[in-house]
Chains A and B, each alone.
Chain A
């Protein structure tokens, strides 16, 4: 079975025969498979660590149309893993830079560039023009949006996500298997799970998983291969292990189950709890923290970064308690002392405050807005930001 209609016959050119000879020699692909690849339209949402290698391999394999969705510009910190970009691309829109590279690799390719963020208003209109979606995004709202839109449009969703040294990859195709909601009916509340920007990621990891996504997309197009539908592959790059677990369709799934209650795209920011008003966290700017330190009142700064991260930038006079130990060590905090929580960019420290609030801590807590990076920019601009 293939996702490409059989009505696509057009002989391969001599140039195509030469360029794709190594896969034309594969019985499972051959001329028919190559023609399907040329007719195929693949949408890559997020041209980052996952999307970049996926795009390169899909273009190299002869996929005829690639759609790229990404609202960001290339940053220097991307180059560690987003290998479609070079130094000269910094500050350029990712989709434009990636399109140049893909056209260089495959001159006949059609690249649609969507320099925007996928949302509930544009998702169906964009996705319906493609045969398969590769999910390379970095946030829960967009992952649920892609999954739901693919279910509603009947498209396969080649999914992967990563953190630190580990990743997971699957194909969600609700027509003959589970969808993302069958695996995770609801997302974690905001702040419970760190992002790669805070948690870090090994550059090769999205390379491996992005290549697996390209592999699965190619197999869906060519047809006839066992795929990852109903299977979740877990990759650990540090211990170099692949594990697999079976995914089953949830018959009560609100979108692909027996009695769907979600029949249109919804507000995914709201679904992921991002639009709920949360209890206010008191924050301090770097200048306000400096003034507070000079004021001499009872104050303790808690550095919630991991030891290896603290060594990248030492913040003097703090008590280090890694994020994952806060509740366990709650007795070490004095409710009569003002606590100021710090991390790299001020996100995890805000989560730290919420974690302690949930655990019942009553004392005054403040968040250093923008984290140690904001402090460095304000008071040590010559220092390197990590």
Chain B
């Protein structure tokens, strides 16, 4: 059973509106790099120029932040869910 990757609406603009994906990967970094390579328009939303995860994207494995589990080096196994949660600012006001 592969890894389940969940992309929110804010990022689906760059993946041809694909939201949930099933990918084979060993680490969270593999997932992020795969997404950035497959969807070049998505890359600046995930990675800095030096390849580190953007400070306005949080990544969770089965609901737990990767900040406390090794960041992009976090090891993942089949059946786990990787959720990307980028910062959004909307409040339903005028702008």
Contact = CB atoms under 8 A, between A and B. Distances in A.
A192 B93 contact: no
A82 B59 CA distance: 32
Interface residues on B, range: 35 or more
A70 to B, nearest CB: 8
A205 B68 CA distance: 31
A312 interface: no
A362 to B, nearest CB: 17
B89 A250 contact: no
Contacts of B44: 192, 355, 358
B85 A163 contact: no
B92 A49 contact: yes
Interface stretch (B5-13, B22-30, B70-78): B5-13
B95 A196 contact: yes
B92 A328 contact: no
Contact of A49 (B55, B67, B89, B93): B93
Contacts of B58: 183-184, 245
A327 B40 contact: yes
Nearest to B40: A327
Contacts of A51: 91, 93
B90 A201 contact: yes
Interface hub of B8, B55, B91 (most chain A Cβ within 10 A): B91
Contact of B64 (A46, A183, A246): A246
Contact of B63 (A163, A192, A244): A244
Given A50-B92, A166-B10, A232 B56 contact: no
Contacts of B41: 323-328, 355
Interface of A: 46, 48-51, 70, 72, 75, 77-78, 81-82, 135-140, 143, 160-168, 183-188, 192-197, 199, 201, 203, 205-206, 210, 232, 234, 236, 243-248, 250, 322-328, 355, 358-359
Interface of B: 6, 8-10, 13-16, 39-41, 43-45, 54-56, 58, 60, 63-65, 67-68, 83, 85-95
11 contacts: A51-B91, A81-B92, A82-B92, A137-B93, A167-B88, A184-B56, A193-B56, A196-B92, A243-B6, A323-B41, A324-B14
